[in-house]
Amino acid sequence: MTAGVSPPAHAELDGMLDELAQGVATWTAMPLEERADLLLRTRTAVDKVSRRWAEVAIRIKSTPLSVRGEEWLSGPYIIMAGLTRLAKTLRVVAAGGSPVDGIRTGSAPGGRLTFKAMPLGLQEALLFNGLAGEIWMPPGVGFGEVRAGAGLGTLTPGDSGGVGLVLGAGNATLIGPYDVLYELVAYNRASILKLNPTFRDLHGIYFEAFAPLIEANVMRIVNGDIETGEYLTSHPGISHVHITGSRAAHDAIVWGPGEEGERRRAEGTPLLTKPITSELGGVSPMIVVPGKWSDADIRYQAEHVVTQRIHNAGHNCIAGQSLILSSSWPQRSQFLDAIRSLLDKIPPRAPWYPGSDRKMSLAEQEYPHAEHHGGRLLVQVDDSTSDAMYTTEFFSLVLGHTELPGTGAAFLRDAVHFANTRLDGQLGASVIIAPRDRKDLGPRLEESLAELHYGAIGVNCWAAFAFLSPTLSWGAYPGNTLDDVGSGIGVVHNGLLIPNPERSVVYGSFRPFPRSWLGGESTIAPASPVYVTSKSNNSASEALTHYAARPGWSRIPQVFRSILFP
């Protein structure tokens, strides 16, 4: 049960799967209130190891001192926030309500129902001032249908989802465990989590953090290699597979490797005979709508773009890779110069994810005239260059920029079409637009967002804020198939357990306070502590993590102090 650093033997894995089968039977007999209590006990256990969790992640990644807060936010913070939200959802359903009761609704183009799912409550409104997130349903789906299905597996608590395999990602420490939590609550499915080898040293900490779930026999955590994954994937005791990783890894599991896999794909006879869901990344666009910006706007939005690219050394499935600018924008060169200056100024950060050096070398081969800035590549892409920047997720410190003509609604329309048709994947996109230009576009902005076929969209914020929110959905835009899986199939996080959402859209402010007020925005939020240039990156991330451990009014002042006086 407590497999360590080395891959467990097959007999040990068999025993774990037997224990999980017993555990899921206990889970399906467990009242929803007791399930909520179990999740909150797990939150307490995570809190006890949160500092060691972050410190080990920092060591694994050699995270620079100035941005070590990344490992608090993308580890214990979001796990504890997610546990809190899922426990609330369980209690709402236990009391006879629906998770969407009291959530403000709205509409989006194409007959789409929206749920104002972030922030929820006054505390969140204060902590995340300046951010507002919505879940968009597919066209034609009504409130009654959503309310009837919201809660997913909590509505049929006695129905077992069996035992699943979660193949954990190797870039962010929260992903594998959070996927297990979602499988458990949304589908009544116990899971064995196979860690990516990059996080083998976290096994012991994970074992302590999730001890209540392990003791309840609904979670197991193992290290392992490819052979371990193959054994578990084909095991008759596994009823479902979930993977966060690359499309190549997904296809090798579904169809098999090499020529045999291609033959199976052509014949439509997958090697994997059980259901699989996935999140597989892609090339994320950053669309900049041209406007008249101040020098301060140029600098701030350059920080925004650079953060999207170099956060976590570029090893993010949601990292902005393709910057789409207007050739008609007079400030285009000034904006690119600001990006160059930041890339040169920010301390170097060595790529740590296995294979990233090969990706960097590939980018240099494809773009021999790429600019080098502090160990990062800046690449201009046009019809005379390789289109690898559009078709390859480089997963490293490579930022491409391309130009399309036009301004206003015409530019945005063409940029959306370009992103949909030229870029690989459908996971996340962002649109940067000044308040005046947003006002001028009016409803045409929302119409363009509806046409932008990505599972998460950030307007004046990184789409990763949907990933960091426990109430919003996370996954590719729907419609992918096993044969053409794109950025994956299905969603996770989704703490309101809304059935089959189409996407999440997060709106941020174009300027930080106090410039936001001077420019007509109502936010009182300063510059985001998530930015790689933020002086409060470490202090704010740690304070938010402590808040997530025991949410309450008494902990909010410390969060504000950590942001304003780092």
Kindly state whether residue 115 falls inside one of the protein's structural domains. Answer: no
Q: Once rounded to an integer, what is the mean pLDDT over residues 405-434?
A: 98
Structure tokens at 220: 């197991």
**CA distance readout (Å), 547 to 40, 89, 536, 540, 554:** 14, 19, 16, 10, 9
Kindly state whether residue 290 falls inside one of the protein's structural domains. Answer: yes
Q: Any idea what the CATH number is for the domain that residue 395 is in?
A: 3.40.309.10
Kindly state whether residue 114 falls inside one of the protein's structural domains. Answer: no
Confidence of residue 4 (pLDDT cuts 50, 70, 90): low
Domain that holds residue 236: 10-99+155-245
Q: Once rounded to an integer, what is the mean pLDDT over residues 305-331?
A: 97
Q: Once rounded to an integer, what is the mean pLDDT over residues 402-423?
A: 98
Kindly state whether residue 407 falls inside one of the protein's structural domains. Answer: yes
Nearest Cα to Cα of residue 399 among 322, 327, 463: 322
Residues 356 and 427 in one domain: yes
Residues 239 and 295 in one domain: no
Cβ contact 532:517 at 8 Å: no
Instruction: Quote the radius of gyration of the chain (alpha carbons, Å).
Output: 23
| % of residues, the chain, pLDDT over 70 | 99
Q: How far apart are CA 122 and CA 239, in angstroms?
A: 41
Kindly state whether residue 51 falls inside one of the protein's structural domains. Answer: yes
Coil/strand/helix, residue 326? strand
Residues 192 and 295 in one domain: no
Strand ranges for 449-524 from DSSP E:
456-459, 473-474, 488-489, 492-493, 503-507
What's the chain's length in residues? 566
pLDDT above 70 (res 3):
no
**Left if phi > 0, otherwise alpha if psi is -120 to 50, otherwise beta: which for 561?**
alpha
pLDDT of residue 520: 87
Residues 453 and 528 in one domain: yes
Q: What angle do CA 357, 254, 164 make, to 5 degrees?
A: 95
Tens-place pLDDT, residues 477-505? 999 999 999 999 999 999 999 999 999 99
Residues 241 and 290 in one domain: no
**What type of residue is 52?**
R
Residues 295 and 382 in one domain: yes
Tens-place pLDDT, residues 97-155? 999 999 999 999 999 999 999 999 999 999 999 999 999 999 999 999 999 999 999 99
Residues 210 and 291 in one domain: no
Q: Once rounded to an integer, what is the mean pLDDT over residues 262-273?
A: 95
Q: Once rounded to an integer, what is the mean pLDDT over residues 286-294?
A: 98
Residues 220 and 291 in one domain: no
Kindly state whether residue 440 falls inside one of the protein's structural domains. Answer: yes
Kindly state whether residue 142 falls inside one of the protein's structural domains. Answer: no
Structure tokens at 110: 């194409």
pLDDT of residue 1: 42
Q: Any idea what the CATH number is for the domain that residue 237 is in?
A: 3.40.605.10
- The count of structural domains within the chain is 2
Residues 431 and 514 in one domain: yes
Tens-place pLDDT, residues 69-110? 999 999 999 999 999 999 999 999 999 999 999 999 999 999
Structure tokens at 137: 């349903």
Kindly state whether residue 521 falls inside one of the protein's structural domains. Answer: yes
Residues 185 and 323 in one domain: no
Q: Once rounded to an integer, what is the mean pLDDT over residues 452-480?
A: 98
Q: Once rounded to an integer, what is the mean pLDDT over residues 416-442?
A: 98
Residues 396 and 289 in one domain: yes
Q: How far apart are CA 33 and CA 45, in angstroms?
A: 19
Residues 324 and 454 in one domain: yes
Work out the mean pLDDT of the chain and round it to a whole number: 96
Cβ contact 471:495 at 8 Å: yes
Tens-place pLDDT, residues 334-366? 999 999 999 999 998 889 999 999 999 999 999
